[in-house]
Amino acid sequence: MRGGRLIGLHLGLVAVLFALNFVLPAYSHGTVARVMVLATYAMGYNILFGYTGLLSLGHAMFFAAGMYGLAMPMTHLGLGAGPALLTGIGSAAVLSLGVGLLALRTRGVAFMIVTLMFSQAAWLTILLAGRWTRGDEGVVIPQADRMLLGLDLSDPSTRYLAALALFSAVLFGTLWLVRQPIGRVLVAIRENEDRAELLGYDTFRHKLGAVVLSGTVSGAAGAAYGLFFGYAGASFAETHYSIFPLLWVLLGGAGTVIGPFLGTLFMFYLIDLTSGLTPAYMLVAGVALVLLTLFAPQGLAGEIRRRWWRGLP
Amino acid sequence: MLELKNIAAGYGPVRVLHGLSLTVRPGEITCLLGRNGAGKTTAMKAIMGLLPLASGQVLLDGEDIGRLPAHEVPRRGIGYIPQGRRLFSDLTVAQNLEIGMRCRHSPPEVRDRVLEMFPRLADRMGQRAGTLSGGEQQMLATARALCVDPRVLLLDEPTEGLQPSMIALIRDTVLRLRDEGVAILLVEQRLDAVLATADRAVILENGAVRAEADAAELRAEPDLLRRHLGV
């Protein structure tokens, strides 16, 4: 029954997003598609931060690894969108494995600093390799190349549904993961790593798995973003793209499945709406964020869990 | 049987244990006593692989486990209940027990037996551990360690801060485990508890054994402990 309610909630969200495809005006249609891809990135981040308790300040490198891992072979090798999507995801997986093996030798603040440094190095690499990456300008993926399985991803409706498919797969994948014993071990590591180790769990291996899974999902979001919106740019590897998923997850509710989506949607629309009203939109956004932090410190879904639905994963 | 042979360990450059040797036998409760800083908790951490050994051996039924990574030690069948309980407060009672069972693939009968020892937990399986009372948290910490189905159980001041009824429950559980053949190493500050449960007492001073006494000696001469501990 409890499982039924949970699946109903998440299916309901997917159904609402599906229905919106047919009613949203053109501008919002593109915005929600973008939000779904970025929420996928936030869900990847949430696996590491929300469930495993590891705060990374360098996730932009995984997002960018997916994006450039897709765009570079398409641009320079003439690879099709399907295989390029795989090289994008694979690039993020390999990078996250390498970064995880090194960064997990540290804990706490040191882990944050090490991931930040790796991310800065990745961003600089993109800029320095301008001959291939086109540096600050970035790479435009031509409309004609954005065909996947016969579907034209430059078509707004197709792009929206593809973004929804990716979002849904990661949403239900996360829901499945956190309800498995392995998901509980990740939470146990977050709560008390030493204690988890003393119950016989190899916490390094579990954390490495979480880094790789989180990095790979983030990379999948980056690759999808590049393919759906036709652009790969160095700005996506900058530090603020590592801070965004942290904010989205904190606002939506760390360690909740649905929270990253709520946080991304809230933040995206907050900035979007206020920027149309005043040039001081960042001030308004900042005040709203402070208020939310004061009155809903566990984030939107975290507060729902605290007040009404204790079993919300 | 767990044997410590001349172990030396500490925290970085600070050496706390200086050639500690002791034996914990199956079906026996060995109480580890000593003043603050004598090395009781450090000895437990060294057994569990949380501190590197500078020298010496930790033998479990003849196998040297002294240099295994910490997560391998409980897999050999050593349960540890540290001071301060340290539950996974965001997980439910059932999930805390499941985490304990999973690492050694303990069969469901182990959990049934544990819940029979602590029936109050059975009524709270869906409750988050962080919302339990202090006594219930200690029950859960003990129950979770027992889910590993240990051959050797280490308890670091398990009755600290508990009400008398809870202390009696924990003591009865420890005695029952002893009778079932589990080797128990217990750190305990309360001398009445030591006299009520210990089969053997080992008194530490400056990281080494200062004195040992068996149950008959302890009961025949209750002041023995006070004399050695200076209380």
Q: Is A2 on the interface with B (CB under 8 A)?
A: no
Q: Give the closest residue to B174 by CA, choosing from B155, B192, B148.
A: B155
pLDDT at A1: 44
pLDDT at A27: 87
Segments of chain A scoring below 50 in pLDDT: 1
**Min Cα–Cα distance to chain B from A89, Å:** 32
Mutate to test the interface with B, among A51, A199, A312 (most CBs of B within 10 A): A199
- Rounded Cα distance between B66 and B46, Å, is 8
Q: Is A194 on the interface with B (CB under 8 A)?
A: yes
Count of A–B CB contacts within 8 Å?
Answer: 65
B70 and A181 within 8 Å at the Cβ level: the answer is no
**Min Cα–Cα distance to chain A from B126, Å:** 9
pLDDT at A233: 93
Residues of A in contact with B75 (CB under 8 A): 200
> Could you tell me which CATH number the domain at A2-307 has?
1.10.3470
- Rounded Cα distance between B43 and B187, Å, is 10
- Rounded Cα distance between A97 and A117, Å, is 16
Residues of B in contact with A306 (CB under 8 A): none
The nearest alpha carbon in chain B to A182 belongs to: B99
pLDDT at B106: 85
CA distances from B79 to A249, B82, B143, B163 (A): 36, 10, 10, 24
ipTM of the modeled complex = 0.80
pLDDT at B213: 85
pLDDT at B231: 56
pLDDT over 60 (residue B159): yes
Q: Is B82 on the interface with A (CB under 8 A)?
A: yes
Lowest mean pLDDT among A190-199, B17-26, B136-145, B155-164: B155-164
Task: Give the residue extent of every domain in chain A.
Answer: 2-307
- Rounded Cα distance between A166 and A176, Å, is 15
Q: Could you tell me if B49 and B70 are in contact, meaning their C-beta atoms sit under 8 angstroms apart?
A: yes
Between B194 and B199, the more confident residue is B199
User: pLDDT (tens digit, 9 = 90+) per residue, B87-112?
Assistant: 898 899 999 999 988 877 888 888 89
Residues of A in contact with B41 (CB under 8 A): none
Element containing residue A38 per DSSP (H, E) = helix A26-46
pLDDT over 90 (residue B198): no
Segment B71-89 shows an average pLDDT of 87
Residues of A in contact with B71 (CB under 8 A): 197-198, 200-203
Domains along chain B with CATH numbers = 2-229 (3.40.50.300)
pLDDT at B229: 66
Q: What is the sign, positive or negative, of the torsion defined by CA atoms of A104, A106, A109, A110?
A: negative
Q: Is A254 on the interface with B (CB under 8 A)?
A: no
CA angle (A117, A58, A297) in 5-degree steps? 125
User: pLDDT (tens digit, 9 = 90+) per residue, B56-69?
Assistant: 999 999 999 999 99
Q: Could you tell me if A198 and A46 are in contact, meaning their C-beta atoms sit under 8 angstroms apart?
A: no
The model carries a pTM of 0.86
The nearest alpha carbon in chain B to A206 belongs to: B71
Q: What amino acid occupies position B182? A: V
